[in-house]
């Protein structure tokens, strides 16, 4: 006969469920994180709560690139040293950070904040393809780099986005295959990303 599981207090259960919303975090990991904070680092738990609340209430989406920003125009878009003729389209801010870490790109970005996923109901309207087209059609843009991930969804997004942007008359390129198929930029080393950027191909 197995012992019954003790009911967890509602605040603890809510914390565990909140951690489970993170990617790759299941029930056991979420419970371990919750118990660790409450048992060994209550001050850290309070800091985490304050930081999450501050980020959720203070961050905006940059009007130019759609990435996270404290101001209407982010620091990258406002930097006069960036090459305004290059526009790199990525899925997430994490992907943008990885490309920046490669130190091989000095253009501007557009962050999709997702990827096409028809089975999940995510289509071109959800990713604001028209807004991207408007951005790509600006006079100074001479090349659009499709830097979505090399997953099935990322490839689908790049294909449909390429078809959508082809009418804009700008040069379209795609990261080279130095990035392994099925991989996400967030987990690829910076030197591989740098090579994929330098060897990008016209689509």
Evaluate whether 141 touches 110 at the Cβ level (below 8 Å). Answer: no
Indicate the SS3 state at residue 110. strand
Please report the pLDDT score of residue 7 as a whole number. Answer: 82
Residues of the chain with CATH 3.40.1360.10: 61-202
Beta bridge partners of 172: 144
Residues of the chain with CATH 1.10.8.420: 10-58
Please report the pLDDT score of residue 190 as a whole number. Answer: 72
Outline where the chain has alpha helix (H). Answer: 10-19, 27-40, 42-58, 75-78, 93-101, 129-136, 152-165, 190-198
CATH number of 10-58: 1.10.8.420
* pTM for this model (two decimals): 0.80
CA atoms of 157 and 185, how far apart (whole Å)? 15
- On whether the 61-202 domain is CATH 3.40.50.720, my answer is no
Please report the pLDDT score of residue 1 as a whole number. Answer: 43
Count of CB atoms situated within 10 Å of the CB of 120: 11
In this structure, what DSSP letter does residue 112 have? -
pLDDT tens for the chain, 203 residues long, are 444 567 889 999 999 999 999 999 999 999 999 999 999 999 999 999 999 999 999 999 999 999 999 999 999 999 999 999 999 999 999 999 999 998 999 999 999 999 999 888 899 899 999 999 999 999 899 999 999 988 889 999 999 999 989 887 889 999 876 655 556 777 666 767 776 776 677 87
């Amino acid at each position: 006969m197995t012992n019954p599981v003790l009911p967890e207090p509602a605040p603890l259960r809510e914390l565990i469920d909140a951690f489970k919303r993170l990617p790759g975090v299941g029930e056991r990991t979420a419970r371990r994180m919750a118990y660790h904070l409450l048992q060994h680092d209550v001050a850290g738990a309070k800091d985490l709560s304050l930081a999450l609340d501050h980020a959720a209430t203070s961050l905006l989406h940059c009007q130019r690139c759609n990435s996270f920003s404290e101001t209407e125009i982010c620091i990258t878009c406002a930097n006069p040293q960036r090459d305004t003729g290059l526009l790199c389209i990525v899925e997430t801010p994490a992907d943008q950070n990885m490309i920046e870490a490669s130190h091989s790109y000095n253009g501007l970005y557009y962050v999709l904040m997702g990827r096409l996923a028809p089975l999940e109901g995510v289509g071109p309207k959800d990713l604001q393809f028209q807004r991207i087209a408007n951005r790509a059609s600006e006079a100074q843009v001479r090349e659009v780099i499709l830097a979505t991930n090399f997953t099935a969804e990322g490839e689908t997004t790049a294909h449909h986005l390429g078809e959508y942007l082809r009418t804009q008359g700008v040069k379209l390129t795609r990261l080279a295959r130095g990035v392994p198929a099925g991989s996400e930029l967030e987990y690829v080393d910076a030197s591989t990303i740098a090579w994929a950027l330098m060897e990008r191909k016209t689509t």
